[in-house]
A and B are shown apart, each in its own frame.
Chain A
């Protein structure tokens, strides 16, 4: 028989390292003579899109196009340290470092433009620097050349320190993290009680990301996280032998395939946090945390079995279904 159920999972997640552990990122920005910019930072973009995000931040502040910006990928010889890509911290900590470098450069550019245009209130927009009142303007390229000719500070460093206070060592009370991410997910499942196979039919994922600097990338991270959460709940398992992990390939370690992944609806919730770049927090790890609880609650809703050991693969779940049957129906059945 196939039985359906719906479950909910909620979480909060401390962003970054917290507990007074060092949590620092740096970046440099260089203004080239042609008006293009080079950002150097040690933050690793392994596909989640942080390079794109840094580009957006610089483009937003200086009114240039993302095409004008070159991001130099992590290289210990040429880029400053930005710490690891972990703890959902890159947009927040690395993003703030890039923003700080950009703001420092913007100040220099502002000064040079002021002296050229003879105006004080300037906006950086459409590759131009424009006086708000008189409408006088200079192109970003000409301004960059002027900076180079005048020996202005064309390389700036940005730094951001996300190291927090520790909690009280005796009571463990206190605020261990700079900020927190919040999320709730709902899962609908169908349990085949005859085989123990669970089909996830639908996941709805609501995530407070502070501010979505790139909504489609946020959605992609949520979807990727949910897929990982499905694998964690239902299929993925490493069996150690005498303390060693045997050689295992993706042929045996069962991550979900596209046929195991349902429609995922992402709801982006934006409650900006004053300390993040433009109010942004993080979403990398939060995306997968509520998925397994939501799925396991949905299984419980469907068949009344509370699962306490993962994965809930067909074999494990079928055993639990049989054990429950014996308890309620007596051993004869």
Chain B
């Protein structure tokens, strides 16, 4: 094992001071599900380690009017078990339940899933599809907020300053009638790295016209992002088979640098059509639902 100084601060203020003092040589640890294997394999050599798991300010799930705040040290198991998340953000339940196995879900945190910046993250694409916002804090610059979609724009390289800490994830409760779907494709049913995952959030008005849609593939490209060109094909229209097919083709046109494209591109087209078909079908009432409409 490597040598480093390990600091468990008593308050958020202490954490930010420590991070500011050791910005370039410090790693932040919460659940450690990615960090510990990387240390073991000597891929990282931090001189300082800041343990944020015990900071009360970084935990908990709360409701602020139409917004839900999720503390970054909330574990995947906690997300799956929390009634508020099940009721208003079921996409997070579905994506979190795809992370590793029970031991990893008991330990791993949503903040870690975002800040690790893995292209194959299971939950970050869902947070982007839910239009989440991230609250970042540093000693020098105080508090700022960025969209979840801006958090990772290069693999394993989150857009956080070296002295910045993720302190909150804010997601609007989905509007009544909004439906969402998530699917992960992997070699086996648990403890597997995703070949791909897909998060879709979709809302239709009373006439069935798509009023809002967000499509976020994960594990396809260097980082997860919305495929706005495909969203534009769907938005404002009444969907049918041809529209879905057109959206699928547009979507594929916007996927660049896909790893193993011979497998991923055709399978992704299938998954996209399948999920969208499920979301738009009338029998969807038994599927992933948000909210009573």
Contact = CB atoms under 8 A, between A and B. Distances in A.
30 contacts: A194-B267, A194-B270, A194-B274, A195-B270, A196-B263, A235-B187, A235-B188, A251-B37, A251-B191, A254-B187, A254-B192, A256-B188, A257-B189, A257-B190, A259-B188, A259-B189, A260-B190, A313-B187, A314-B185, A314-B186, A314-B187, A314-B195, A314-B263, A314-B267, A315-B195, A315-B263, A318-B266, A318-B267, A319-B262, A319-B263
Contact of B260 (A195, A260, A315, A322): A315
Nearest to B269: A194
B101 interface: yes
A196 B262 CA distance: 13
A195 B262 contact: no
A23 to B, nearest CB: 37
B174 interface: no
B267 A196 contact: yes
A197 interface: yes
Given A315-B260, A319-B263, A257 B270 contact: no
Given A195-B185, A235-B188, A314-B187, A257 B267 contact: no
Contacts of B271: 194-195
Contacts of B191: 251, 257
A192 to B, nearest CB: 9
Interface residues of A, number: 19
Contacts of A259: 188-190
Interface string A191-220: 000111100000000000000000000000
Interface string B215-229: 000000000000000
Interface of B: 37, 101, 185-192, 195, 260, 262-263, 266-267, 270-271, 274
B266 A322 contact: yes
A257 B189 CA distance: 7
A197 B195 CA distance: 11
A197 B189 CA distance: 10
- Report, nearest first, the 9 A-B pairs whose CB atoms are least far apart: A194-B270, A259-B189, A257-B190, A259-B190, A315-B263, A260-B188, A260-B189, A254-B187, A195-B185
Contacts of B101: 257
Given A256-B188, A258-B190, 16 more contacts: A194-B267, A194-B270, A195-B185, A195-B271, A251-B37, A251-B191, A257-B101, A257-B188, A259-B188, A260-B189, A314-B186, A314-B187, A314-B263, A318-B263, A318-B267, A319-B262
Contacts of B274: 194
Given A194-B271, A195-B267, A322-B266, A254 B188 contact: yes
A278 B244 CA distance: 67
A319 B266 CA distance: 10
A314 B37 CA distance: 27
Interface string A305-318: 00000000111001
Nearest to B266: A322
A103 B77 CA distance: 57
Contacts of A258: 190
Interface in A280-305: none
A322 B185 CA distance: 17
A314 B270 CA distance: 14
Contacts of A318: 263, 266-267
B101 to A, nearest CB: 7
B84 to A, nearest CB: 27
Contacts of A313: 187
Interface in A259-273: 259-260
Contacts of A197: 185
Nearest to A255: B188
Contacts of A256: 188
A36 B135 CA distance: 70
A195 B190 CA distance: 16
Contacts of A315: 195, 260, 263
A322 B195 CA distance: 18
A92 B218 CA distance: 53
Nearest to A194: B270
A259 B189 CA distance: 6
B271 to A, nearest CB: 7
A257 B37 CA distance: 20
A236 to B, nearest CB: 10
B61 to A, nearest CB: 26
Contacts of A314: 185-187, 195, 263, 267
Nearest to B263: A315
Contacts of B189: 257, 259-260
Nearest to A311: B187
A235 B260 CA distance: 18
Interface in A5-36: none
Interface string A239-263: 0000000000001001011111000
A122 to B, nearest CB: 56
A77 B17 CA distance: 61
Interface string A154-188: 00000000000000000000000000000000000
